[in-house]
Amino acid sequence: MRAVQFTEYGPPGVVHIADVAAPHAGPGRIRIAVRASGVSPGETKIRSGAWRDLVPITFPYRTGFDAAGVVDEVGDGVTGVGVGDEVFGMTTTTARGANADHAVLAAWAPKPAGWSWEEAGGAAGAVETATRVLDRLAAGAGDTVLVQGAAGAVGTVAVQLAVARGAAVIGTASERNHDFLRSLGAVPTTYGTGLVERVRALAPAGVDAVFDCAGGALPDLIAIAGGTARVVTIADLDAAAHGVHMSHGAPSDDTGAAVGASADPLAVHGLAIAVALADEGRLRVPVAAAFPLAEAAAAHELSEGRHARGKIVLMH
């Protein structure tokens, strides 16, 4: 089968298609014939070498954490799903390999009828990440949540999940994305110089939690939150120096549970929540661009530009 991989750190051009043996569904797993799979912004940092200390890897490294497709193998002990079912979900963070013709999923849920394959293929990673961070922040009804980098793949989902929890959401993005953020339920503002003052004007009673999807602004975000306790980043490698928690779900063991002192438990329960919200018309997965599998390098290049509105996916 075809699979996307790289065998050295480097620019997007090191990503290529390889012919590899197809995986099979072991106990507690399912295999899907992939229709669409996500391109993770985190994996572009892994590929470039920027995260080599945070996420050690071995080569060749097969990319892709989330995917959607049709079940074609069901492992021992699996119930509630059968061959031919349409699902979306995620691999383990160590195995990955979802950017391929077949992928083995460790967690999954039924594909919502209202989602396209493109939406479903890029959903699971963003849903898991957003749920994990919102859980850690204990964000809920009555809270005011700031999402920094709200127009990106995780930010767009985080805004909708926070709104669904009953929170008021302020989202930062470039001005061209402000109407888009309003459509998701957020009050938009721009990032950069003057952020603290702009957010205080929008939330005079204060901000209860900050979800940083962008990086590079932790001093301002700490000032907005009034301390580090309710600031979580998924993007800023300087988090520890500022006393801020950096949330990640990698690595994971064979059961899919996060391991290691700095890892947070994977929020796989978010997939079922996403299905319920999608069926109510309250959660969409904005897709910035869809590329053929063979153009994975171009997808990585677009992701690194950090201006994509929503998720980047590969079509199979």
pLDDT tens-digit series, residues 39-54: 988 889 899 998 888 7
Q: Which two tokens stand for residue 41?
A: 């912004």
What tens digit of pLDDT does each residue of 84-119 get? Answer: 999 999 998 888 999 999 999 999 999 999 999 999
In terms of C-beta density within 10 A (0-12 exposed, 13-18 middle, 19 or more buried), how is residue 280 classed? exposed
Mean pLDDT, range 115-141, rounded to an integer: 97
pLDDT band at 307 (very low <50, low <70, confident <90, very high): confident
Rounded mean pLDDT of the chain? 93
Q: What SS3 class is residue 118?
A: helix
pLDDT score at 305: 80
Burial class (CB in 10 A: 0-12, 13-18, 19+), 142: exposed
Residue 155 per-residue DSSP state = H
Are the C-beta atoms of 312 and 289 separated by less than 8 Å? yes
pLDDT at site 41: 85
* Over residues 16-26, mean pLDDT: 97
* Residue written as token pair 């993007």: 235
* Tens digit of each residue's pLDDT (9 = 90 or more) over 213-270: 999 999 999 999 999 999 999 999 899 999 999 998 655 444 444 444 467 888 999 9
Predicted local confidence at residue 251, as pLDDT? 53
Mean pLDDT, rounded, for 172-194: 97
Q: Is the domain covering 2-122+285-315 a CATH 3.40.50.300 domain? A: no
305: left (phi over 0), alpha (psi -120 to 50) or beta: alpha
Cα–Cα distance measured from residue 195 to residue 201, given in angstroms and rounded to the nearest whole number: 10
Which of 214, 22, 240, 5 shows the shortest CA–CA distance to 99?
5
Judge whether residue 178 has pLDDT over 90. Answer: yes
The per-residue pLDDT for range 64-82, each reduced to its tens digit, is 999 999 999 999 999 999 9
DSSP 115: S
Question: Tell me, what's the pLDDT at 257?
Answer: 47
Q: For the residues 164-191, what does the mean pLDDT come to?
A: 97
Where along the chain do its domains lie? 2-122+285-315, 127-246
Question: Dihedral angle at the C-alpha atoms of 177, 178, 182, 188, nearest 10 degrees?
Answer: 130
Please give the radius of gyration of the chain, using alpha carbons only, rounded to the nearest integer.
19
- Under a CB-based contact definition with an 8 Å cutoff, are residues 233 and 215 in contact? yes
Cis upstream peptide for 41 (omega within 30°): no
Angle between helices 41-48 and 296-304 (to 10 degrees): 100
Length of the chain: 316
| 3-state per-residue secondary structure call for 160-196 | HHHHHCCCEEEEECCHHHHHHHHHHCCEEECCCCCHH
Among residues 282, 267, 255, the alpha carbon closest in space to that of 124 is found at 267
Would you state the pLDDT for residue 261?
Answer: 47
Q: 283-295: per-residue pLDDT in tens?
A: 999 999 999 999 9
Q: What is the pLDDT of residue 55?
A: 80
**Any alpha helices (H) in the chain, and if so which ranges?**
41-48, 117-121, 123-137, 153-164, 178-184, 195-202, 218-225, 270-279, 296-304
- Position 250 scores a pLDDT of 53
Q: Which helix (H) or strand (E) holds 311?
A: strand 311-315
Round to whole Å and give the CA distance between 4 and 64. 8
CATH match for 127-246 among 3.90.700.10, 3.40.50.720, 3.40.920.10, 3.30.420.40:
3.40.50.720
What's the mean pLDDT in 148-177?
97
Percent with pLDDT over 70 in the chain: 95
Residues 10, 7: Cα–Cα separation, whole Å: 9
DSSP 30: E
Tokens 């978010």, residue located:
270
More confident residue, 304 or 130: 130
